[in-house]
Amino acid sequence: VDHGGEFRITSGLHKYACDLTLDTNTANKQLKMSDENRKVTSVNERQSYPDHPDRFDVFQVLSVESLTGRCYWETEWSGHDVEISVSYKEIKRKGGSEDCVFGYNVNSWSLICSDHRFTARHNNKSTVISAGSVS
């Protein structure tokens, strides 16, 4: 990941900005990619992605880019809630055990965002984050 590129001289978090692209080889088949693989939507119909050993059995997807050092990105969501996660690429992909699900193991961290609250989860330990109104 190019940490910031043209934003490198910018002050604050933006100097760590990175553009992320979703990896269709890891996407669960009920996740639909759009916007040049920068947007993901949960859908009922299975997508026609080819079989791939890196594909998740659970509703998850990784980015193509590996993250190192400090990174910053923004996310928009609509609907009920969203989980924004980071993971080591070694996370298990097959099955539905906690070893495969973001935030439930030592290999991943998850931020669960809803209209009412934020919760951080790592290694199956959840912490509600106090915040002002969620917009």
Between CA 47 and CA 121 the distance in angstroms is 29
How many CB atoms within 10 Å of residue 59?
15
**What confidence score (pLDDT) does residue 8 get?**
54
Residues 7-35, buried b or exposed e (16+ Cβ, 10 A)?
beeeeeeeebbbebebbbebbbbebebee
**pTM summary value:** 0.84
Q: What is the mean pLDDT of each run of 10 residues along the chain (135 residues)?
A: 54 87 98 96 96 97 94 90 94 94 98 92 96 61
Q: Are 91 and 104 in contact (CB under 8 A)?
A: no
CATH fold of 1-74, please?
Answer: Jelly Rolls (2.60.120)
**What confidence score (pLDDT) does residue 10 get?**
65
Q: What does the DSSP 8-state code read for residue 8?
A: T
Between CA 29 and CA 51 the distance in angstroms is 9
**What confidence score (pLDDT) does residue 9 get?**
55
**What confidence score (pLDDT) does residue 11 get?**
73
Tokens representing residue 1 in the block: 């990941």
Taking the domains of the chain in order of start, what are their residue ranges?
1-74, 78-135
Residue corresponding to tokens 């915040």: 131
